[in-house]
Chain A
Amino acid sequence: MNSLVNLTKVFKFHGGVHPPENKAQSTQLPIGQLPLPEKIVLPLRQHVGNIPKIKVQVGDKVLKGQLLAEAEGTVSAAIHATTSGTIVAIEDAIIPHPSGLPDRCITIKPDGKDEWIARQPQDWRNTDCNTLIASLRSSGIVGFGGATFPTQIKLRVGCKSEIHTLVVNAAECEPYITCDDMLMRERANEIMKGIEVTQRLLGAEKVLIGIEDNKPEAIASMQAATANTSIQVVVVPTLYPSGDARRLVHLVLGTEIPYDKRSTDVGLQVFNVATVLALYRFFELGEPALSRIVTVTGNVQKPQNFEVRFGTPLPHLIKAAGGAKPDTTHYIMGGPMMGFDLPDENVPITKAANCIIAASPNLFAPPPTPMPCIRCARCADACPVNLQPQELYWFAKSDNFEKANDYKLFDCIECGACSYVCPSNIPLVQYYRYAKSEIIALDKAREAADLARERNEFRLARIEREKQERAAKHAERAAAGKEEAAKRALEAEKSPALEANKNEASSPATSGVDDVKKVAIAAAIERAKAAKSAAAAIGEAPKNIANTDESVKKEIAEIDARRQAAGIEKPAVDAEKQAKIAAAIERAKAAKAVAEAAKTAETKEE
């Protein structure tokens, strides 16, 4: 093995740490299968991006592999039933997330049959690449290395085919975690098929598989599988965090992906080994993402890897690992370097759950009280990004976010190497997370403030406009006296005078200013109102009368009142005529308003 191992040059990155591996415990037994759990709880939030849209209802019978929630928006992933059964609840429940907050989950009561929906394998070798990638939207596949970024997004660039190299991430640098290791030992051939599929999707010619040298069995297995192919197994030295995508790319290719670029910008794409396998199952077998390998280790009786359906309650899994030892205090999801405390034992296994560690005070001693930073710069020596963690800590602590930004806070990958070596036991990563979230919040607040300022300017403009409209209305009221005369004239000779009046009035209005335009619009509204009131007078209430402005209703009422006061009876027979009169009045009002506004506009201009 060793002669093969050292064929490829490895490009080291700065820093890195060597935490105790603790991987042997969970690699003694092969990947185990679990019996069906009593219930399946599928959180909608299992990936980075938008929450998918639920397509089922409580009471629905579902089959294994059936779509329960479809991807919503660009960055999102679908959720599928991981066994057949009945949807018994769609409600908030505690999910395995660092926030510890409940989130929407779909609960299935399995019927025990584990009956598949009709699977639809694709002829991926002969199908158009765009069609293949589009179909991934319903696969539910996300990055199974732990990042859970929807895979279809990472593949979208593929069809344009500027990707020359696929890097398969099998470094698995976090202590305790062995799910990728076991996957490679046991399913190398499926992984190879997955690589073929992924190569087809990306158009990548070159394939490198990066594996840390602490996994000799996996290396041997992959080397056997890749024999007689152009695929290269690159053995990288065990050094945390070699499994970080940018670090791994540097290790195997010597390429430093610029901080503001994606790997695809330099013709590379990185996929976790389990993701690659999931792609094979989706295209070749028509199976969406329903399960993953989970390492169950730490303070359990029989540490082991299991193939676990998503939604399987954690206690079910712990039971399979022989149960937790008595002094177990809680569970950690992920590894000891980047994982988090599960908020509760009763959480379901999700797509992100690469490892569950039963924690006890013996295994992970409570951290000692932090001491002041003595600027020893051990953190800087350990930082794989070559940041200056001691400076970032100082800036984060003093809320000096601008400086923190200058010192490239956002390049921090939160790997925890700095905290791991800190003699003062300072929870450095927590400070960086805090500073990042504050900076993001401040940026959002700034954006919101900009928006608010725009809105306020808009509002001021509106107030000004409304003021002028009110002024126009005043003018109407002032002209109310004339209406009477106009009415009488109308009755006598059907209003030729009014028409003239209108033309006269509108001529200065069209000559002008923006304000006048606005008022013209207002006038148009008035005309519409007139039409409405005319219709009302005919007796056909407009369908949207309920929505009519109160002031309009009032005006109508007022006109009616005035009419009554003037002793004009509402002749039921002559309704049409009456309506016409009312409309004419409204028109007159509008015309006057226009004229008035034009005047005010002129005076304003002076």
Chain B
Amino acid sequence: MYRSPYISDAPPVSSIMFKVLLALVPGIFAYVWVFGGGVLVTITLATATAILAEAAMLKLRRRPVQPFLMDYSAVVTAWLLALAIPPLSPWWLIVVGTLFAIVVAKQLYGGLGYNPFNPAMVGYAVLLISFPALMTKWPAALQLAQTQLSFADQLQFIFSGLLPQDVKLDAVTSATPLDYLKTQLTLKHDVASIIQAPIFGIAGGKGGEYVTIAYLLGGLYLLQQRIISWHLPTAFLGALAIISGLFWLINPGHFASPLFHLFSGASMLCAFFIITDPVSGPTTPKGKLYFAAGVAVITYLIRVYGGYPDGVAFSVIFMNICVPLIDSLTQPRVFGHEK
């Protein structure tokens, strides 16, 4: 009987997913340092919701619950979604988003390995379209806020929507740098003068850029561990730098620098953690380059010309649609065949 190969040298899916979670830890630390502990609450809520939803759906679908829960893929989705939405959102926002990501975007399509769209991005897009006001209420970096919320205050706000007396919501939230840049540009301000505002840091947003750098470090760890291939982050960051660089060279007064785009918004998270979702992404090396570059270009266009400050979720979903086409058009040359 043929059962070969008898040996294997592959990390199980669970260990791959676990390493992805591990790689997110520096980013989460930076996040807590910059925006406070609220994000830990969101992550916990999202994780619990994801596990329960996954288990319930597996039961309903009559699939073995334990092996699929233990692959940690639902947890990865939960964490990515929790990191993508504002940490000072009401508890039900993250619950609704996670439910949508797990139940609709993942399980209804057949569960692990069968979802054509990135579940976290679907969850994010649903929330962004359904609750635009809540989704743009980002807390100001603790270093910038006029009033600092303690972890207990954040916890209370997430579950009850109540802030400590004398604290107004506007005092603890602020526009994100991308958002601020966009609105200021519509007011015919110059980029150079806009980024003089206190919310801007050296490269991206003040505070936010540290989180971004932490994501970058986590991403490099994933590269080193061969969990992700270099194609996706390189092509994404490269394409984003090139397109923003082109616009910036043409009109630096109206377009922000490549550095700003690389270190703002969800750029780094997207480069190393979102577009690297293997299930909904392309598999050929060339396809990965095209896919990532496509996400970068659309993200940039949405940032500059679209109705949303950041465009990662929509561009990822759009490129997910293109994956079968990309894969079939980028088949590598098989040994012994002409191209």
Q: Which residues of A contact B (CB under 8 A)?
A: 13-14, 17-20, 98, 100, 175, 246, 250, 256-260, 332, 334-341, 343, 359, 364, 367-369, 371-378, 380-381, 384-388, 390-391, 407-408, 411, 416, 419-425, 427, 429-430, 433
Contact = CB atoms under 8 A, between A and B. Distances in A.
25 contacts: A19-B9, A257-B336, A258-B337, A259-B335, A337-B6, A340-B1, A364-B6, A371-B13, A371-B68, A374-B73, A374-B113, A376-B16, A377-B284, A380-B283, A386-B334, A391-B283, A391-B327, A411-B334, A416-B5, A421-B8, A421-B10, A422-B8, A423-B12, A423-B13, A429-B5
Which of A343, A372, A388, A416 is most buried by chain B, counting CB atoms within 10 A of its CB?
A: A372
Given A13-B335, A385-B334, A340 B278 contact: no
A364 B7 CA distance: 6
Given A19-B9, A371-B112, A374-B16, 6 more contacts: A258-B338, A367-B8, A384-B335, A386-B333, A386-B334, A388-B283
Interface in B99-125: 111-114
B198 interface: no
Contact of B9 (A258, A421, A433): A421
B281 interface: yes
Contacts of A257: 336
B29 to A, nearest CB: 27
Nearest to B8: A420
B336 A411 contact: yes
A388 B9 CA distance: 19
A594 to B, nearest CB: 64
B13 A374 contact: yes
A416 B7 CA distance: 10
Contact of A256 (B68, B278, B335): B335
Nearest to B11: A423
Contacts of A419: 5, 8
B4 A407 contact: no
B131 to A, nearest CB: 31
B335 A246 contact: yes
A367 B4 CA distance: 10
Contacts of A433: 2
Contacts of A407: 331
A329 B185 CA distance: 74
A369 B67 contact: yes
* Consensus secondary structure, chain B interface: loop
Nearest to A367: B8
B337 A339 contact: no
Given A371-B13, A374-B278, A416 B4 contact: yes
B interface, how many residues as a size bin?
A: 35 or more
Q: Which 9 A-B pairs have the closest CB atoms?
A: A372-B113, A259-B336, A416-B5, A377-B283, A364-B6, A336-B6, A376-B278, A385-B335, A423-B10
A340 B283 contact: no
B8 A425 contact: yes
A377 B336 contact: no
B188 interface: no
A217 to B, nearest CB: 25
Contacts of B15: 423
A384 B334 CA distance: 9
A387 B334 CA distance: 6
Contact of A339 (B6, B284, B333, B334): B6
B332 interface: yes
B113 A337 contact: no
B337 A408 contact: yes
Contacts of B278: 374-377
A391 B328 CA distance: 10
B190 interface: no
Contact of B12 (A341, A368, A375): A368
Given A14-B335, A408-B334, A420 B7 contact: yes
Nearest to A18: B9
Interface string B316-338: 00000000000100011111111
B4 to A, nearest CB: 5
A17 B331 CA distance: 21
B335 A386 contact: yes
Contacts of A377: 229, 278, 283-284
Given A371-B71, A422-B8, A246 B113 contact: no
Contacts of A367: 3, 8
A389 to B, nearest CB: 10
B217 interface: no
B283 A390 contact: yes
A247 to B, nearest CB: 8
B335 A374 contact: no
Contacts of B327: 391
Given A371-B112, A388-B284, A429 B335 contact: no
A371 B67 contact: yes
A341 B3 contact: yes
A256 to B, nearest CB: 6
A336 B71 CA distance: 27
B242 interface: no
Contacts of A13: 335
B198 to A, nearest CB: 43
A374 B337 contact: no
A388 B3 contact: no
A95 to B, nearest CB: 14
A259 B334 contact: yes
A430 B4 CA distance: 8
B226 to A, nearest CB: 8
Given A372-B111, A380-B283, A388-B283, A17 B9 contact: yes
Which of B5, B13, B16 is most buried by chain A, counting CB atoms within 10 A of its CB?
A: B5
A359 B4 CA distance: 12
Given A337-B5, A375-B281, A258 B13 contact: no
B1 A341 contact: yes
Which of B7, B73, B279, B334 is most buried by chain A, counting CB atoms within 10 A of its CB?
A: B7
A341 B7 CA distance: 14
A423 to B, nearest CB: 5
Given A256-B335, A407-B331, A423-B13, A374 B7 contact: no
A427 B283 contact: no
Nearest to A422: B10
Given A259-B337, A339-B6, A416-B4, A374 B279 contact: yes
